[in-house]
Amino acid sequence: MDHKEAARHSIDEHREVLIGVSNRIHGEPELGHQEFKASALLVEALKGHGYTVELGVAGMKTAFVARGPKREGPTIGVLAEYDALPGIGHACGHNLIAGSALGAAIGLAAVAKKLPGNVVIFGSPAEEGVVKNAGGKVVMIDEIRKADAAIMVHPSNMWGSYGTSNARESFLVEFYGKSSHAGGAPEKGVNALDGVIQTFNGINALRQHIKRDVRIHGIYKNGGASPNVVPDYASAHLYVRAPTLPMLEEYYGKVQDIIKGASLMTGARSKVTRVANPYANSIPSKTLTDLFRSELAEVGVDIPEEREPRQGGGSTDFGNVSQVIPALSAYVNIGPVTLHSPEGAAMTATEEAHGVMIKSAKALAFTAIDLITKPGLLEAAKKEHGQRLADQAKQSK
């Protein structure tokens, strides 16, 4: 049996285990940096397949690095995510990302001692940018960058590996004013809610003058407790997104000026706190895209060649990985529903989704095997990555 057949066989043998892990994570959604059950489940399974696991990496309790047997040769990283969204659970399908990464790990464990290279699974917490210190991959980037390449899949309502994502800042804006009787002594109050309102108004005025593909959006979090009390505290959670980090910094700066202006206008003191770590834009890889497409064909999924990179509007800490090593985050089609919705949460636990998760695990394992056993592929991926970084540096000058 060759390497790929052995990996395929092992993944098929563990099909029910993998679906069980995905369903357990799905059934008990945990927010970023709170994924204690999910990380423990994955760590236990990886240890059972011969991986040496370090849980608690880069100061994050739910981050892990799982290493296969140490061998001479290149190191391929497989990225796992397992955090959920507030309120709607696993509506981004990170349970399936975890299941497919574990599946790939189990498949690769069957051949690890014969491979001329290393396999490392990176358990990366808090991908969703809604919790403090979000972006586990940013925090543990010095671990991840030791690998020669990193691969993962992400559920979607389409197939596609060749794409970019936006760089992003996620931050909390707070205004502090002074309470007063809104009817009896309004002149004695400083309205914190007005600070938030003027911030949104300023952003809306800025919209006429922003470059295409820049996105600024947010929500009110707190706007006072009672109409007859001048609110002394109000807050909003805002995102700024842009196709490159320099452009992100430019617009993030403009929004900071708007916040300062809102503070001057209202007299309410403002405070800005970063929620997530800054996410970088993703660098696409045509080499890894083509390779993954050929691996998908081997598991019965035929998709057309992707010639032009898709411009993605969202953001992910995978972007930071793709800035330091050749990396692939492949969208895998689990059904027609858009994610980040309650319907999306239901879709990430269907039979169809599980079937795609198993195929994804195989395609990930095959990709790692090819990158390790065919040095020309990894070389080509590194060369392309270097070229894209050089182009990016030129463009941002």
Nearest Cα to Cα of residue 337 among 158, 90, 157: 157
Question: Min. distance of Cβ 42 from Zn ion in angstroms?
Answer: 17
- The region of 84-92, 256-264, 291-299, 369-377 touching Zn ion under the rule CB under 5 A is 84-92
Exposure of 226 by Cβ count < 10 A (0-12 exposed, 13-18 middle, 19+ buried)? Answer: exposed
Q: Tokens in use for 293? A: 């497409």
CA angle 333, 293, 351 (to 5 degrees): 30
Question: Min. distance of Cβ 140 from Zn ion in angstroms?
Answer: 17
Question: Min. distance of Cβ 348 from Zn ion in angstroms?
Answer: 10
Pick from 38, 65, 80, 92 the residue near Zn ion by CB under 5 A: 92
- Cβ neighbour number for residue 5 with a 10 Å cutoff: 11
For 129-140, the DSSP string reads TTSTTB-HHHHT
Give, to the nearest 10 degrees, the angle between helix 286-298 and helix 351-373. Answer: 120
Exposure of 46 by Cβ count < 10 A (0-12 exposed, 13-18 middle, 19+ buried)? Answer: buried
**How are beta strands 75-80 and 149-156 bridged, if at all?**
parallel
Binding residues for Zn ion, rule CB under 5 A, total: 1
Distance of CA 60 to the CA centre of its chain: 16
Q: Tell me the residue nearest to Zn ion as measured from the CB.
A: 92
Binding mask 41-80 vs Zn ion (x if CB under 5 A, - otherwise)?
A: ----------------------------------------
Nearest Cα to Cα of residue 330 among 11, 135, 100: 100
The b-or-e profile of 328-342 (16+ CB within 10 A means b, else e) is bbbbbbbbebebeee
Our finding on whether 371 is near Zn ion (CB under 5 A) is no
Q: Which is nearer to Zn ion, 92 or 299 (CB)?
A: 92
- The region of 87-95, 236-244, 279-287, 329-337 touching Zn ion under the rule CB under 5 A is 87-95
DSSP 190: B
- The region of 85-93, 113-121, 318-326, 347-355 touching Zn ion under the rule CB under 5 A is 85-93
Q: Which is nearer to Zn ion, 4 or 94 (CB)?
A: 94
Q: Which is nearer to Zn ion, 130 or 303 (CB)?
A: 130
- The region of 88-96, 131-139, 173-181, 324-332 touching Zn ion under the rule CB under 5 A is 88-96
Question: Min. distance of Cβ 316 from Zn ion in angstroms?
Answer: 7
Question: Min. distance of Cβ 309 from Zn ion in angstroms?
Answer: 19
Question: Min. distance of Cβ 129 from Zn ion in angstroms?
Answer: 10
- The region of 63-71, 86-94, 361-369, 387-395 touching Zn ion under the rule CB under 5 A is 86-94
Q: Which is nearer to Zn ion, 128 or 295 (CB)?
A: 128
Binding site for Zn ion (CB under 5 A): 92
